[in-house]
Structure 1
Amino acid sequence: MTQIAAKKNLSEAPDISSFYGRTQELAELQKWLTQERCQLVILHGMGGIGKSALARRLVDKIIHQYDYVIWLSLASAPPFSEIILKLMQFLTHGEQEADDIAPIMRCLHRHRCLIVLDSWEELIEDESENYTKYNNFVEIVAQESHRSSLLLLTRKLTHNIDILKGKLIRFKKLTEITPEAARQIFLAEGMSGTDRQLAELSQRYRNPLMIKVVAQQVKRVFSADISPFIDMSVFVGDAITKFLDEQFQGLAKIEINLIYWLAIRRNSATWNQLSHDSEQFLSDQQLFQTLNNLIARHSFISNNVEDIPTIYILDPVILKYTTERFVHEIFREILHLLNYQNLQGSELLITHSFITQNPQDEELNQEQMRRIVKPIQKMLVAKLGSQQQLKDELTQVISLLQYQGLSPGYAYQNISQLISVCQ
């Protein structure tokens, strides 16, 4: 191994054969690291959005400007001592070992080094001494004067990282790619169709990982021809569902509930509407903090600042996934209610209205009926055998609630909506 090769270690970095779009983000990150000499840059965004690919492209462009460059994956949540050992052996060509941060910092003072830590979110579940040591290392790199840079990649921001301040600290949230970049990926994956069809498909799918999942399935089923696929509206298959299930596992219940309220509004939710929908269950302070977390830390929600008032929206794929997830959760809750004749375990049925009460928005109400109420009703009919059986059992639940003096939240209203379509 040559001396130059020994100073560059990208063995844990992803291989990227092609890269599309992200021109502005790439230029901004390059400026922060090479011109402004930022000591800590945090690149964050939801899974599959392309953080590692962008970072690898960035490293390839600027690698010659550093004495040492190393990429370390935290995907297996390794002990901090293991990372320190790797760093020290790399920076000293195997001549020294370290069991604390001080020798590493001396190297960062003497040389111009770039350290990439990928998958920071994997450490978050480990609220232990190990996580504390990692966090302490990041804080010292961010705040102590030296010649080097740390690039941190994460799906979500931890509180300790989020509050770091300083002239040499930058945060970059990575969102969906442009339709043109999405189109280029679809073409690179071998998709064929008219310009209009490709443009429509590229508006629906803007997460690079989801694009590749969809492309692989279209190849298998339609031999890469998107013409029949384009008529299927937004598609959320098993692979995308599994991927989004994993993303949702990192969310708190209050955050998932807020995403459900957003999905019910079909991407037309303002602050006042969300406040009204959740007023029995969330204070405005809780709503504000949860929105902030979902926008800034988890990157699940976007806000359309061009609208006044601001509209909070979900990616089309996440909207469809969330709606289907909500429908299945409600289905399970109603079955439990019919079996046990009590509302215990029916949280969503109580907290979320199937149909939002806004007489001026008939189109939204029709969409809610089509996307939420009727699918729930069809699943219940399939389970119970007939519409009349469902209507009879739901009517008994209404009578029970009235007899017990129970009409918490939206339960009575939601059950009444289901009865109304059992005609």
Structure 2
Amino acid sequence: MLSFFRASLSLVPAVLILVLARLLQFLSKGEQEEGNIYQIMQYLRDQKCLIVLDAWEEIMDNQSENYTKYNIFVERLAKEFHKSCLLLLSRRKPNNITTLELEGNFIYSKKLLPLIKEDVKEFLSAEGLFGTDIALEKFLERYNNPWILKRIMQSINNVFNGDISPFLNNGNGEVTIVVDKLTIGFLNQQFKKLSQAEINLIYWVGIRRNTALWNHLVQDSKQFITYQQLFETVENLIGRHSLMSKNTEDISVIYILEPVIVKYSNERFIAENYAQINQIFINGIINGCELFITHAFITAYPNDEELNQEQMRRIVQPIQKMLPANFRSQQELENALKKVLSLLEDKGLSQGYAYQNISHLISAGKQI
């Protein structure tokens, strides 16, 4: 007979000794209240049990002695004989699982992919959402993450009584993508766990609006990270964090973000650029690692007029509209931006992205 034990590491104290105590009580049917991994392994050799540890990323985020002990527990279950099974649920793939897979143990990892259109349709129908075929098709193109879907569906039910069509129409002919506060909070937490290189790569892909080929990423990043670092960062975002994926329908692989992440990362990119440029206005100091130095607002390689127009509308113009808040006139802002150009020349950065970006902001201000 198979028994079942589950612990959510985000809801219960994640200290291993407490989790093991609960597991030992369960396996011994209450006869033992405390013990160690050796005693648990003894029980698992004699009985079949499915052990589920949810929110494993909570353990990974706490690189302490406790985390080391958890890994020892996992590795013993992976390498020693027993009749049971351990299932780890995590938003990110643990490094030791990859190592154990390569060693040929009975270890398997499964990445949950975004829902396919048929699954989303069933999901919507079960929740009482409806819409025209065109509306459903547009909705399916933008939302396929189960967690985000659940949030959006709840909001559509509350506001539109389940009708998708008005939700998608923002009044100017464009299909809107809604990112609510809970989703923003969730994504903020995910981004806190990323390295700056990983965040920068998400921005590079987002700037290209999901049209980034490998050679585009190499070109965009070559002044700031090595080829190997780029390769490892792409692999991490796809394989470990599941924040980026590949579109393989065409001959060449295109690196893409979910539409919700594209919007979130674009707004985050705009806000960070505004803050960094505004700080330079205040103290007159350029550190050299600012986003407007490492990322092109408008990509020049390859020449793509339609993409460049979208980059102007979604990146340059929003930043330009935020900057005048601290100036009495557009001319004052232009003068401040020209001072930034001078600072860039002094630091030998007049040939890079930064000089082009500031020039774009000046040009956009003149068109207002």
TM-score between both structures, scaled by the size of structure 2: 0.92
Give distance in 2, aligned partners of 1:252 and 1:214.
Answer: 29
Q: CA deviation at 1:113?
A: 1.3
Question: CA 1:350–1:197 in structure 2 vs 1: closer, same or farther (change >3 Å)?
Answer: same
Aligned to 2:173: none
Can you give the 5+ residue segments of structure 2 that lack an aligned partner in the other structure?
171-175
Higher relative contact order (CA 8 A, sep 6+): 1
Q: Which moved more, 1:208-217 or 1:270-279?
A: 208-217
**Which of residues 62, 75, 80 is equivalent to 1:126?**
62
Deviations 1:322-381 (A, max 9, x none): 011101110111111111222137621111111111253111111111111111111113
CA contact (8 A) 1:380 1:390 kept: yes
Establish whether residue 193 from structure 1 lines up as the match of residue 131 from structure 2.
Answer: yes
**Which of residues 140, 153, 166 is equivalent to 1:228?**
166
Give distance in 2, aligned partners of 1:253 and 1:239.
Answer: 23
Establish whether residue 180 from structure 1 lines up as the match of residue 118 from structure 2.
Answer: yes
Give distance in 1, aligned partners of 2:289 and 2:275.
Answer: 9
Establish whether residue 72 from structure 1 lines up as the match of residue 15 from structure 2.
Answer: no
Give distance in 2, aligned partners of 1:186 and 1:383.
Answer: 46
Establish whether residue 91 from structure 1 lines up as the match of residue 27 from structure 2.
Answer: yes
Deviations 1:249-277 (A, max 9, x none): 11111111111111011111111111111
Establish whether residue 107 from structure 1 lines up as the match of residue 43 from structure 2.
Answer: yes
Q: For 2:108, what is the secondary structure of its paired residue? A: strand
Q: For 1:288, what is the secondary structure of its paired residue? A: helix
Give distance in 1, aligned partners of 2:365 and 2:311.
Answer: 16
CA contact (8 A) 2:4 2:51 kept: yes
Give distance in 2, aligned partners of 1:380 and 1:104.
Answer: 61
Amino acid at match of 1:389: E
Deviations 1:173-219 (A, max 9, x none): 11211122222222333323212212221221111221121122223
Amino acid at match of 2:9: L
Question: CA 1:405–1:303 in structure 2 vs 1: closer, same or farther (change >3 Å)?
Answer: closer
- The 5-angstrom pairing of residues 18-417 of structure 1 reads 66-75=1-10, 76-165=12-101, 166-232=104-170, 233-344=176-287, 347-358=290-301, 360-403=303-346, 405-407=348-350, 409-417=352-360
Q: CA deviation at 1:385?
A: 4.6
Amino acid at match of 1:95: E
- Aligned-residue sequence identity (percent) comes to 50
Q: Which moved more, 1:220-229 or 1:170-179?
A: 220-229
Q: CA deviation at 1:401?
A: 2.9
CA contact (8 A) 1:337 1:346 kept: no
Question: CA 1:228–1:337 in structure 2 vs 1: closer, same or farther (change >3 Å)?
Answer: same
Give distance in 2, aligned partners of 1:372 and 1:130.
Answer: 44
Amino acid at match of 1:188: A
CA contact (8 A) 1:218 1:224 kept: yes
Q: For 2:246, what is the secondary structure of its paired residue? A: strand
Question: How many residues of Structure 1 are paired with residues of Structure 2 in the alignment?
Answer: 358
Give distance in 2, aligned partners of 1:346 and 1:386.
Answer: 29
Computed over aligned residues only, the root mean square deviation of the Cα atoms, in angstroms, reads 1.9
CA contact (8 A) 2:344 2:354 kept: no
CA contact (8 A) 1:334 1:346 kept: no
